[in-house]
Homo-oligomer: A and B are copies of this chain.
């Protein structure tokens, strides 16, 4: 196992031209092996009327139909247990991980031995890029076990040469105790759990200055890309906070900000990035918002060719001020296609509500978008529920200001409901921000 510095200028600063050459080579290898071993991909190619020889470069990718999560789910049901898209021989399989699957049965993903190695390498690289170093005490508040982020960051934290506290996404009180003793220097978790820990610190009267904690990275759900949320985490824990991205089917943790905080660097030597127009599936121009579609360039066991993530992003491939040339998702993940709220003709995402709510000092970090049906008028009602930190606040004025700021952000005016602090559910995992109570 390689140790030491996890910054590889020869890869992370390579010219876009050289990177594209590497991607083309790896893509041809991946397409060949997928077609040789996977009936799933063979069918897909046949249906589209294409052959392996048609895919010579990244530009030829557009001929391959995208893969959706629903398609993987159906494939696994029809061809149990893993569908017909496992490509590495089963003797090389090492770990099984399901998607967290908030809807439907989870999709099982497999990591081969080399996949574990590559995942560890890429994760160590992302962690290095935002400043994790040998000797750091890394409090790993991502869930362990079946969920992907806990394991990958655990492996990477050790690989970098840190001391990992494998605490997982629970036990807030104990999280705080470890921050005080032995005194973790790095925290990894979801942003909502980080806010929850910060809340616990405040309740105990522990000031962030008392903590050796230096930085944290937060992913698994939206939050860190929102400046207001990031500031709350940074002030609440007294740290630098970085945004982190991954998803079970693709890679647990293959994208993160560097210390420049200038967008999520995507590990483009292992993951080929496309941004597609959600309606036409055509490629977006650089900087244009669209759906992130990812192709595995090195994944062995369950490789994805053009996986439709359902996440919105804008790509920037200009060199970052840190010197890295791999593309960045500017502003992080900008929303999820299935998290979109359609309300009175306007479309918006929870992340936009978050941005507004968390810019208020007198309002708690939790919020909920409640959708109900007004049976008398047959119209939908969208209510933003949030918490008031103090009982002394003038609620009428607060409601008025929130309504105005939300209208500006969402281009539509939701109802506002302000509850006492502590009313909304706290979660240590992925916070659910939309509660749809409309009759089905």
Q: Point out residues on A near B: beta carbons under 8 Å.
A: 80-82, 90-91, 93-97, 108, 110, 113, 116, 134-135, 144-146, 150-151, 158, 161-168, 181-183
Chain B, residue nearest A163 (CB): B93
Chain B residues whose CB sits within 8 angstroms of the CB of A80 once the complex forms: 181-182
Copies of this chain, complex-wide, total 2
B168:A145 contact, CB within 8 angstroms: yes
A146 near B166 (CB under 8 angstroms)? Answer: yes
Given the contacts A144-B150, A182-B81, A166 and B95 also touching, CB distance less than 8 Å: yes
Q: Which chain B residues border A161 with CB–CB below 8 Å?
A: 91
Asked if residues B181 and A81 are in contact (CB atoms below 8 Å), the reply is: yes
8 tightest Cβ-Cβ pairs between the two chains A and B: A81-B182, A144-B144, A145-B168, A93-B163, A144-B145, A94-B158, A145-B166, A81-B181
Q: How far is the CA of A164 from the CA of B110 in the complex (A)?
A: 10
A272 CB, min distance to chain B CBs, angstroms:
27
12 pairs, CB–CB < 8 Å, chain A vs chain B: A90-B135, A95-B163, A95-B164, A96-B165, A97-B166, A116-B158, A144-B145, A144-B168, A145-B145, A145-B168, A146-B165, A146-B166
Give the Cβ gap from A99 to chain B, nearest Cβ, in Å: 14
Look across to chain B and name the residue whose beta carbon is closest to the beta carbon of A168: B145
A301 closest partner in B (C-beta): B163
Is A145 within 8 A of B163, CB to CB? no
The winner among A144, A145, A151 for most chain B CB atoms within 10 A is A145
> In the bound complex, what is the Cα–Cα distance between A95 and B168 (angstroms)?
13
Residues of B within 8 A of A151 (CB): 166
Assembly CA distance A80 to B150 (angstroms): 27
Known: A97-B166, A145-B168; 20 extra A-B contacts, CB below 8 A, are: A81-B182, A82-B182, A90-B163, A91-B135, A93-B163, A94-B164, A95-B163, A95-B164, A95-B166, A96-B163, A96-B164, A96-B166, A110-B163, A113-B158, A144-B145, A144-B150, A145-B166, A145-B167, A146-B166, A151-B166
